[in-house]
Structure 1
């Protein structure tokens, strides 16, 4: 596949890049034929984030997203294979199971090391090259830029975390990915909603935040992991008949307004001296 088939970049001039790495659903036919279920392979997508963050264009932000499913390759994982969360359950560069531990591939059909290397060249490397190019462009223009890595996940995923996830989960790699002023502004915008928020909790930031967050070079990165309940209904038990639930603009409007304040706070930080 050519990058033009799946790599989507909308360029803006504001000092903000919004990365959406997990909302894709494209699975090449040769890979899909080896899967247990196409629905299962798309179950853990960050559903409807393209619609939820559609307002970013009006803020003149740059948006980069991949249309490829994270089952094909997860562009937010360390390409060396090292776990981002040692000692905790997580998925790999080319996942072989779901968040709930269900196998994705038919017996004996998991990707080999050689296939994983090909997928990295085809999908992983172009995504990060595109992200790097946009960050470099905007740093040259502004001197200081925010990289906002947008994610969402079910409120409950017992294999990954205990209990119910807060609505807003801010990740800064323990403060290494940005100057302290950025999470403070993002936290203020989140806290104004009255909804639960945590910073550097279960989700401290993935490979995108850790790789591209270079505050000493003008790139300040923050990850936002949303609990899905903020914008869509979450069935107690997920099946192919009820998941994903449809996107409703009216249902998502309150959270979308809050996220608008979050992105404006990011731009304000980038414009601050």
Structure 2
């Protein structure tokens, strides 16, 4: 099912749904319907959104419903609405929003306006009601359904990280330092990726888990585990890290590293297959 707000993929017919919900909050780069080329302050900002997408994230995670997981994503670029931030994570003055990071981006990190017009706080509120709130409402609904069926649930918040920010880290597992998920779950994911030849780290600063993990990870009180998985996008492309931003600014798409993408897809499919047994062990039937 698709809409202008959500992309929801359920397990195919005849496949028993697993207790796993995959969230992809930075799935695509679509602009809002009312945003046109003339709304950007500089011509190259038309492709700016791609630099904030999770590069090739769909190549890794979007078909995990074929293996029994439920997948939720959004087509809207996080420049316009960043679903992995707190709803109130923005600055405003006299009713005008000004934000370089947070739930919306109006300026670059160098404080250059991205758009030709100011964003009013009432416009942002309308945007959040239309795009942000439905995503969290659907997360709530799906997790309740999974927990009702299985007695527990795992929310896997799925990302590919910027090659510039992640540096040489290949895979990072974020659990808010163990607060949002049992160690056995992250440990099993670590083992699988390591066996496939990838280096894994946990709770690196800046990647310990965003708002989605923080909101839903309540393993002790709600039997809901939440874990953020960051895979360095440099693994998915043949474009060198130092060329990535320059290429994006020219409106070009990096070349895919199909071999690594296949290896990582195999890791994720194994993760989806193995984790239900880990969850069952952590939450035995009474």
The TM-score range, normalised by the shorter chain, is: 0.7 to 0.9
Hey, what's the Cα distance between the residues in 1 that align with 2:114 and 2:63? 37
Q: Secondary structure at the match of 2:164?
A: coil
- Work out which of the residue numbers 258, 264, 269 in structure 1 matches 2:267: 258
Deviation at 1:43, TM superposition (A): 1.5
TM-score of the superposed pair, with normalisation by structure 1:
0.85
Q: Once the 2 structures are TM-superposed, how far is the Cα of residue 147 of structure 1 from its aligned partner?
A: 0.4
Q: State how 1:1-273 maps to structure 2 within 5 Å.
A: 4-12=3-11, 13-32=17-36, 33-36=38-41, 37-81=45-89, 91-98=101-108, 101=110, 103=112, 105-106=114-115, 109-157=117-165, 164-202=167-205, 203-215=207-219, 216-235=221-240, 236-237=242-243, 238-239=246-247, 240-241=249-250, 243-247=252-256, 249-272=258-281, 273=284
Write the deviation string for residues 41-80 of structure 1: whole angstroms up to 9, x where unpaired.
Answer: 2221012222222441222100000011101100000112
Aligned-residue offset at 1:181: 1.7
Distance in 2, Cα, partners of 1:267 & 1:247: 31
Query: Closer, same or farther in 2 for the Cα pair 1:189/1:40, shift >3 Å?
Result: same
Q: 1:105: how far off?
A: 1.6
Moved more, 177-186 or 137-146: 177-186
Q: Is the 8 A contact 1:46 1:153 kept in 2?
A: yes
Q: For residues 73 and 209 of structure 1, what CA distance do their matches in structure 2 show?
A: 17
Specify the SS of the correspondent of 1:30.
Answer: coil
Aligned-partner Cα distance in 1 for 2:40–2:237? 27
Q: More displaced, 29-38 or 226-235?
A: 29-38
TM (norm. structure 2) is 0.82
How far apart in 1 are the matches of 2:156 and 2:179? 15
Contact 2:5 2:134 in 1 (8 A): no
Corresponding residue pairs, total: 258
